[in-house]
Structure 1
Amino acid sequence: MPAIIDTDPGIDDAIAILYALRHPGLEIAAMTTVAGNIGLSVTTANAGRIAALAGMPTPVHPGAKAPLGRAPRPELGIHGNDGLGGVAFPDAARAPEAEDAVAYLARTLTAAPEKTIDLLCLAPLTNIANLVTQHPGAAARIRRVIAMGGAVDEPGNMGRAEFNLAHDPEAAAIVLHAGLDLTLIPLDATRRFRADAAYLETLRATAKAPAEASAALIDAYFVQTEHQAKGSESRPLHDPCVPLCALHPELFTIETRHLRVDHDGALIEGPHPISVAMGVDADGLRARLAEGLAC
């Protein structure tokens, strides 16, 4: 299944990328990066470092440094200054590519047979919006887009909205309103997918570097404050839902909702039919994630 990952790593991005790069059911042609959880230089470096740990020489194409007409709002409190919760990763095995993300996407989609490449989107949708507006013919050749973002019936995590859509609402509106074959995985689904301490031991017991690194990342993803011990479960594993949905759609409850993106990134009732994952088989997802990370 040929695919390109658009990402802003990010703890949960890193887990998703390790799973996708190692899984034999996915062929990741490249990663494109965007400013989101942290600035572009760090997200780009992190993508290369994650690929190095996975043992995959995946090209990384830097993209947008900021949202469309807005200032960046990084999420350092969750992901840390390095974006990876302080977990050690090797240096990248190859430098970032000179060709920027949108140029790469346009060239690759135009050269490939139509409707053969998926976009797996783990980040604010700035790169994809620029592709849609600057190269609409290339964007029309995408097989499907699977994107983590939004909150439908659930409250958001940035006011009314979810981070990826709230970071760049204008980009989100362009992409979600473009009529692409798109599946959105919102907080309604991802908040059901978490890990506990026993699951971390399951990952560590594989003795595989991607699984061990993911255990360390999830451990950094447990809620903890200065005066409160770690909770019994991690924060939601949002981004791994994207490659898991690409490979195991049967583990997601998909509904068609008629929505639009509001000025702050909130999803409200609107004219655009969008396929939305409103539920998950969390036990099934945990099992499939562990299997993939052990490949």
Structure 2
Amino acid sequence: MSANSRPAHGEHPTREALRMFARSPVAVVGFALLGAIVALALLGPMLMPADPFDIVAAPLSPPSFQEALLGTDQQGRDVLTGIVHGGRATLAVGLSAALVSVLIGITVGAIAGFFGGTIDEILMRVTEFFQVLPALLFSMVLVTLFTPTLMTIALSIGAVSWTATARLTRAEFLKLKELDFVAAEHVIGAGKGRIIWGVILPNALPPLIVSATFAIGTAILFEASLSFLGLGDPNRMSWGLMIGSSRSYILSSWWAVTFPGCMIFLTVLAVSLIGDGLNDALNPKLRERR
């Protein structure tokens, strides 16, 4: 970021961005909500060490203070225990898939935007090919080809959801590579690798960070969709698996689907609110107006 984009009072851009993020009610609510969900996923299993696959009561028992606070599913498993333990798997898949997606997207977009020409044409045609593929269907095929585990699910989601990040990275590189500070690196003989990853990429990070945030929410929804269709890891409890295994009883036993569905909704909502807050905080033009 150039010196001209710094606030008039001389505050460092990073500190100014954090201050704006903290002043955003939407961002603060999202951060607090996501923090509570992460705390539940990390600390909950320690407070409720029971196996989420254990049968604790009659199948499809309604919420009750005597047996199961949030009821049981079609196999008699405690819904509350499943929610507490399932958060780890759901969040792990979301973070891992988003990381894979961002790494692929940044790599493809950075190379295409920096080199241009034939390399750009080839990489953009590959990106368009993946962009027109039905993402959910393609990820289903990938998961089906391998044993459904958290790792294969995360990799399959990341492999089909990187195109938006690639296009955004390419656009940032096309813009930034023409600026004076990049030309100065060429003049002093800096290598292409240093210019791409050490000079241009750090200046392109703000919009990419926002894109990565939204990618987490997308990956969580993808995992829930795959689990709903019976393609989740059957050996690891997740919110998507809870919804998928009880989908046939949604009208008669709403609690088995509604509560894990609410957790997915709240998590994606929190991530989206944080993304909106980051978008405002990392936008230098908006910071100058404020």
**Pair in the same fold by TM > 0.5:** no
Q: TM-score range by the shorter chain?
A: under 0.3
Specify which structure has the higher proportion of strand: 1
What's the TM-score once normalised by structure 2's chain length? 0.24
Bigger relative contact order (CA 8 A; separation at least 6):
2
Report which of the two structures shows the higher radius of gyration computed on alpha carbons. 2
What's the TM-score once normalised by structure 1's chain length? 0.23
